[in-house]
Homo-oligomer: A and B are copies of this chain.
Amino acid sequence: MKKVIIHIMPKQGVLDPQGKAIQTSLSALGFSEVEDIQTGKLVELFVEDAENIDERVGEMCDKLLANPVMEDYHFAVEEVAYT
């Protein structure tokens, strides 16, 4: 069993209103040391051992998980015991 951790973030230059809202709120709470925030999505897949896992996960991201126009993604694959 493999665990694939996918990070999906807006591309550089794409507006991130949620990030701006969080930054304003953090500043109001006294956390003024935060200079910038970007928010994104995190997807964890548990996949049966299969060949070409990197290629297959790339296809999943391109076809469904990420919007290639506005978002970048990267992922890491790790081995896990089945739970």
A binding-site residues for B, Cβ under 8 Å: 1, 7-9, 19, 22, 25-26, 29, 31, 33-48, 50, 56, 59-60, 63-65
Given contact pairs A56-B33, A63-B29, A64-B25, A9 touches B39 in the complex (Cβ within 8 A): no
Query: Contact between A37 and B42 (Cβ–Cβ < 8 Å)?
Result: no
Give 13 pairs: A residue, B residue, CB < 8 Å, sorted on A. Answer: A19-B43, A26-B60, A29-B63, A31-B60, A33-B50, A35-B46, A36-B46, A38-B43, A38-B44, A39-B41, A39-B43, A41-B41, A41-B42
| A41 / chain B contacts, CB cutoff of 8 Å | 39-42
CB distance from A56 to the nearest CB of B (A): 7
| A56 / chain B contacts, CB cutoff of 8 Å | 31, 33
